[in-house]
Structure 1
Amino acid sequence: MSLDRPVARRLLSDEVFDRLRDSIVRGELVPGEKVKDGELAERLGLSRTPVREALARLADIGLVEAKPGVYTRITTLDRRDVENTLAVLRSLDQLAVEAAVPVMTERDLVCMREANRDFARAVAAGDTAAALAADDRFHAVPVAAAGNPVLSRIVEQLHPQIHRILHREFSTLLGGRDTIEHHGRLIEACAGGDARAAADLSGRHWLELGGHINELFDTDRFAEAVSG
């Protein structure tokens, strides 16, 4: 597991943060699992300070929760929290797309097309990690083109909360042709300069994703995580 590799000291808490976040997203650290800064520090070959700093940052973005003197643990999957996160991400993505379309370059469109091809190849190969990475690259293009660093920062903070569900249930939520076709329609709208249509497409995609996630909660797909 990636947590077991020694960390270069120049990276310290940033590297610890990245590794812990990725381990949570991939499900290596499961919802409800208790973590101890001393044990993590020993595994990473560091003092407790950068580990504590990383855990505090993870708590800020909702991946870790702590009760002082009792526990520090990976947050459970809570339907209301997920719904709230999806609502914010939907609004931010629509805002980014609408702002980005009028200023997008041909290079931006090329990057989106390349990312969608990579996504399709990863889906065909059953490579969840590669598919999610390609999906991230796809959606990062309009976010970057929008030129709003505040928006970019908030999106980056919220994505991991949804990514750990996507990683776990990829075939159900993103694994079909629907997402590839949605990407294609979004590219066409962006290329045509129709900011409103592109934003509407983005919003509908987030709503569909939220509906699928709610169905998973309805069928207790996350029951073992919540009870952890």
Structure 2
Amino acid sequence: MPIPSGGPAVDRSLLRDDVLWRLRDAIVDGTFTPGEQLKDGELAEWLGVSRTPVREALLRLGSSGLVVALPGRSTRVSTIDAPAVRDARDVIAAMHELAVRQTTGRLGAEDINRMRDANRRFAEAVEAGDIGAALDADEEIHRIPVTALGNHAVETVLDQFDPLVRRAERLRFSGDGHASVELHSQLIELIAAGDVQAAASVAFDMWHTLPAEDGTDADPARPPL
């Protein structure tokens, strides 16, 4: 679709990461569609910034697989590639399993309640068909153990590969996200009960309920617990 008209400009004092997040979110939410050409001049005008942070953001999005740059020609939004989604999904599942394994028994009541509240909002968003709000609530649920873990390497890996999976996940929530409400509830209550093994298993397995774009569902053998 064309570059959106109007909309709030990015404050020039904000870090380059804010430009990255705006562009990343526009790809994930479908504002920019697969195959669409992205011109740094138009993007800079839309965001109200110079071309430099836009170009840097596009380079970083390329490393995440969200855009494909053809040297000297153009930068386009990547198509949703099933093998790439499966690979990213497996990495993300392992990172979330690690976070849950290391933080179960350490999360306080406030963190548990925040996860429950986010799942309530997730369920409401799914029921209302608000896919954007559902994705936001889903990310909040999973990010609470990750933040509590405080492992910068884990956070870096998730920041790189999560958007690729989120774009595919949006298709699932556009269909029927009700099953995810129950999976979230299982995860949260297992964490609350301090059941490390079971919570870690659910944290890993629930990411493999996300089918690949080609309709297949990779289900690799689980690593030893």
TM-score norm. by structure 2 comes to 0.87
Matched, 1:175 2:177: yes
Match of 1:217 in 2: 214
TM-score norm. by structure 1 comes to 0.86
- 109, 114, 117: which is aligned to 1:114? 117
Gaps of 5+ in 1: 220-228
Match of 1:103 in 2: 106
Per-residue deviation at 1:51? 1.3
Match of 1:33 in 2: 36
Match of 2:155 in 1: 152
**Cα 1:169–1:189, aligned 2, differ >3 Å: closer, same or farther?**
closer
Identity %: 45
SS across alignment from 1:205: helix
- 74, 79, 86: which is aligned to 1:76? 79
SS across alignment from 2:80: coil
**Cα 1:136–1:2, aligned 2, differ >3 Å: closer, same or farther?**
farther
Equivalent-residue separation in structure 1 for 2:132 and 2:20 (angstroms) = 19
Matching residue's letter, 1:191: A
Gaps of 5+ in 2: 217-225
SS across alignment from 1:217: coil
- Per-residue CA distance 1:81-128 (angstroms, 9 max, x = gap): 111001101111111110110311111111111111111111222211
Equivalent-residue separation in structure 1 for 2:48 and 2:187 (angstroms) = 45
Equivalent-residue separation in structure 1 for 2:48 and 2:209 (angstroms) = 43
**Cα 1:21–1:3, aligned 2, differ >3 Å: closer, same or farther?**
farther
Per-residue deviation at 1:195? 0.7
Q: Contact 2:12/2:48 (CA < 8 Å) preserved in 1? A: no
Matched, 1:185 2:194: no
Equivalent-residue separation in structure 2 for 1:54 and 1:89 (angstroms) = 22
Structure showing the higher helix proportion among its residues: 1
Query: Alignment length, in residue pairs?
Result: 213
Instruction: Please tell me the root mean square deviation across aligned C-alpha atoms, in Å.
Output: 1.9
